[in-house]
Structure 1
Amino acid sequence: MIDYRKNTIPVWTLATRDVRVPAFTGEKRMTAGRLAELRTVLAALADEPVATLEAHPLPERLDRARGIPLDAVSPLAQHLSQLVTESARSSSSAATIAGEGLYRMVVPAKFADALGRGLVRSMNSGEVAGGLRGPLVDATGRIVAGATFVPVGTVAAAGAAGGAGATAGVAVAGSAALTVAAPLVLMALAVGVSAHADTKRREAVARITELLEQLHEDKLEAEHSELDGCRDAIDKATAVLLDQGVIGASLGLDSAVHAINSALGAADRRLARWRSALDRLPDGEPVDIATLAKAFPGVDDDGGEFRAHLELASLAIALKQRVNVLQAVEHAQKDPDNLFENFTRALKRDQQRLDDMQSGIAGVLLRLSALEPARPQGLRPVFTTGEVERLMRAAHRIHQLAEAVPTYGRASDVAIEIARDKDGSVVVFPALPAES
């Protein structure tokens, strides 16, 4: 029996195909550090994605609104239920996890990075300056501290590409047993990445709403409304695909994609104008604030049209990322024998344009933040206190633009948390970089 009071956690090793790896452990139990080492070894030695899945007790407090809910008959929920049920029958280490729980899947960086580096990024912490929001944790703030992990033995797998009842098996090499559960890995990753992109969408919408309330710009308001109106079609298409259905014209996804692509086109044109304006500035010389504000309206203020354009670009990118995931899942389901390769190839191809746009915007922000504002022009040899304060505030706001530029560290393992209720329904939370 599992005694969660002693922090004993069952863990599966899941493969997307029949792969061969050397025996990785002869131990019955392992620490969190040992489990991290195991993931590193599996990623290095396996040619196909190998993920780990941990089963934790369900925390008392969970912000379920951050995730994407799926009912008990959805393929992902069925794959997970089948894995858990079969494990409970065949392994004493998994005997008490057939009900509710919090499942944490970690996909190694080697494979997660193939999905496009812009899809899953560390997100700034709202509580600690310079901190990062890690994976979903319990009310105490951590999920694996002090835990002992018990490998779950050979079990019937959670289904192959065709659905919950499709064929599956176990890949065994030496003493290593890997459950072949491609759909579970694929769908968990797809929903987690989609939830991550939707989190970025909600953040962008909140910032845009605040900016537009200050600007009273009808054209920007219309652009914002058209983009935000795409959410309904994307949500419905996501639900249909995750139920392994076919997206029809009645969902309105085609018009949503058109609106998103139009917004990305507008962002491309604005980016080109910003670059051109920066290229026209004299090298190494202070720049007059009025000249800068003409090319970048509101750059010296808390709001402004320039910042609204940045947020509209962020919103369009977040929505496009969700559409990219939909297209990748659709490709994978159409060709079940080439499941994960299709998924990663489709995501990587579509993500390249978004990466280029984000890199271009980051370059503009860094160039702007490095500019030195010039003193106000005038005949008076002495400036008023108000003029000096305005110049200092403008300089500070311009230099702060560098803080909005995302930084890329080494590739990180990607963690997806899945909360499973007693009725078999699940909530999949945003995919995030796994804690090291």
Structure 2
Amino acid sequence: MTTETTAEIIPLWTLSTAEVHTPVKLDEAMTPARLSELRSVLAVMAESPVATLEVRPKPESLDTSGGMSFSSLSPLAQQLSTLTATTSKVLPSAAGSGETLYRMTVPAKVAAQVSGNVLRSMPSKAAAGGVHSALLGSKGIAAQATYVPVTAGAATAGLATVAAPLIMFSIAAGASVYAEQQRRAAIEKITVLLEKLHQDRLDDERNSLDGCRNAIDKATAILLDKGKISSSLGLGSAVHAIDTAIAAAERRAKGWKKALKKLRGDKVELPALVGAINGIDDEDGEFYAHLELADLAIALKRRVLVLQAVEHAQQDEGNEFENFSAALKLDAQNLEKLTDDLDDVRLRLSTLQLDRSHGIRDFTFSSASVDKLLHTTQRLRALGDQVSSSLGQADVAIDMVKQADGSVIVLPPSAATA
């Protein structure tokens, strides 16, 4: 293993949605640890949310296959180009590499306000409590990195660059990419379950939800290119299908929570649990299919919320961030309630201690019954690993790759690290 001896110089912008003087002066050269400290100070003391934007050459190992593409003429690509064109301190190696990686970081304290809790970390199966990161395995951005603050346009020392449209489009794109990542994961699980269940009713629910994707994809592309949504896209019928699925998920979640409340203590006999939630002892049962259908509906609803918020914000271009935040917060409350209810169900089930039946006639316990008890216990434990954790506990990083032709690929958001 070799150690890189040449420090990587990374230009850094401080961005805000309105004119605001930063209460602290950024150093001429900063380490990752120093930058992390300053982000925390800015989050607490700045009058308006201050994000940071870094630029570096795209790591060769970075996988962009899960991202969302935007043309060179899109507002997002043009905003990035405008920002970098107004400063003379752009990193030469980044500017000349043909492909550049931009990372926008939103402080933890304002992450929930900015995203309306639409951005949530995706749990990683590789490690307990872990989350996916878009830059895992990339090189040259660790301890040797040095961050150099730059200014843009008329910005002066201590004044954050006003870039409300760039912040809004970045967050909207990142939220859409994350929600699409959730949809893909949910649909894969549902497909496997329904192939074994052979129930037409559940197939219809799955097909109705997945059929909404094309309309949402088109509406996302149009809105983020500052176009207007027309009825020909079919978004209205898609929203109706999603809202219907959300209502079904809310009803099921309420029923599961009510049934679990009737169970006394954490030690429960398997027949009693099956009586409370039918099919929970069957890995291909309807309960697990309903759980995945709820996750799919939530993922699609998150994408719709972002679309509605962006459309609302673009109606008043002089007030993007305030409208964007308000629209997300208002519409996301009910969705967060459903997400929390499903998380409660998963956590409650994952902590149960299953026991065999101790009825009067239960003199023997067959090997098949033992296997069912063990397998059900393992599945319930696994439910706890699926509980989503809010990115509000950590800085939110949105990575964007600007390609040689000027187009931009936005990657799924991750929990930022220094």
**Same fold flag (TM > 0.5):** yes
Distance in 1 separating the partners of 2:16 and 2:5: 26
The partner residue of 1:303 within 263, 284, 294 is: 284
Give 3-state SS (helix, strand or coil) of 1:103's partner.
strand
TM-score normalised over the length of structure 1: 0.87
State which of 214, 222, 228 in structure 2 corresponds to 1:246. 228
What residue number does 1:67 align with?
Answer: 67
Contact 2:28 2:148 (C-alpha < 8 Å) held by counterparts? yes
Q: Who is 2:368 aligned against?
A: 386
| Aligned amino acid, residue 122 of structure 2 | M
1:37-436 equivalent positions in 2, closer than 5 A: 37-87=37-87, 90-91=88-89, 93-98=90-95, 99-115=98-114, 118-137=117-136, 139-140=138-139, 143-152=141-150, 154-156=151-153, 169-170=154-155, 172=156, 175-281=157-263, 283-284=264-265, 287-376=268-357, 377=359, 379=361, 381-408=363-390, 411-435=393-417
What is the Cα deviation at residue 402 of structure 1?
A: 2.8
CA apart distance, 1:13: 1.2
| Alpha-carbon shift at residue 235 of structure 1 (Å) | 0.6
Secondary structure of 1:300 counterpart: coil
Which one is further off, 268-277 or 316-325? 268-277
Mean alpha-carbon deviation: is it higher for 369-378 or for 95-104?
369-378
Asked if 2 retains the 8 angstrom alpha-carbon contact of 1:137 and 1:143, the reply is: no
Structure 1 distance, partners of 2:159, 2:380, is 55
Q: Which runs of 5+ in 2 are unaligned?
A: none
Please identify, of 387-396 and 217-226, the stretch whose mean Cα deviation from structure 2 is larger: 387-396
CA contact (8 A) 2:56 2:91 kept: no
Give the match's secondary structure for 2:192: helix
Instruction: Tell me the secondary structure at the aligned position of residue 53 of structure 2.
Output: strand
Give the conservation status (yes or no) of the 8 Å contact 1:84–1:97: no
Q: CA deviation at 1:176?
A: 1.9
Contact map agreement 1:116 1:351 (CA 8 A) in 2 = no
CA distance in 2, matches of 1:35, 1:371: 43
Cα shift at 1:192: 0.7
C-alpha deviations, 1:36-94, integer Å up to 9, x for none?
A: 1222222222121211111111122332221110010001001101112222xx33x54
Provide the rounded CA distance (Å) in 1 between the counterparts of 2:349 and 2:371: 20
CA distance in 1, matches of 2:383, 2:345: 9
Cα distance in structure 2, aligned partners of 1:139 and 1:97: 15
Query: 1:191 is matched by which residue type in structure 2?
Result: A
Partner-residue secondary structure (3-state), 1:13: strand
Cα distance per residue 1:154-190 (max 9 Å; x no partner): 322xxxxxxxxxxxx53x4xx3242211111111111
* 1:128 CA drift (Å): 3.5
Q: Is the partner of 2:86 in helix, strand or coil?
A: helix
Deviation track 1:244-269 (CA, whole Å, cap 9, x = no partner) reads 11110011111110000000011111
In the alignment, residue 123 of structure 1 is paired with which amino acid?
A: M
Q: Where in structure 1 are there 5+ consecutive unaligned residues?
A: 157-168
1:184-234 alpha-carbon deviations (Å, 9 max, x no partner): 111111101110111111111111111111111111111001101111011
How far is 1:126 from its partner?
4.0
Report SS of the residue matched to 2:385. Answer: helix
The one-letter code sitting in structure 2 at the alignment partner of 1:111 is: V
1:166: which partner in 2? none
Letter of the 1:342 partner, please give it. Answer: N
Quote the RMSD (CA, aligned, Å): 2.4
Count of matched residue positions in the alignment of Structure 1 and Structure 2: 412
The offset of 1:314, in angstroms, is 0.5
Look up the match of 2:8. 7
| 300 and 94 in structure 1: CA distance in 2 versus 1, 3 angstrom threshold | same
One-letter amino acid matched to 2:185: E
**Separation of aligned partners in 1, 2:269 and 2:218:** 49
Q: Deviations over 1:111-154 (max 9, x none)?
A: 211145642223222433443223435544x73442011111x3
* Paired AA for residue 14 in structure 1: L
The answer to whether the 8 Å contact 2:29/2:148 transfers is yes
- Is the contact between residue 32 and residue 145 of structure 2 (CA under 8 Å) also seen in structure 1? yes
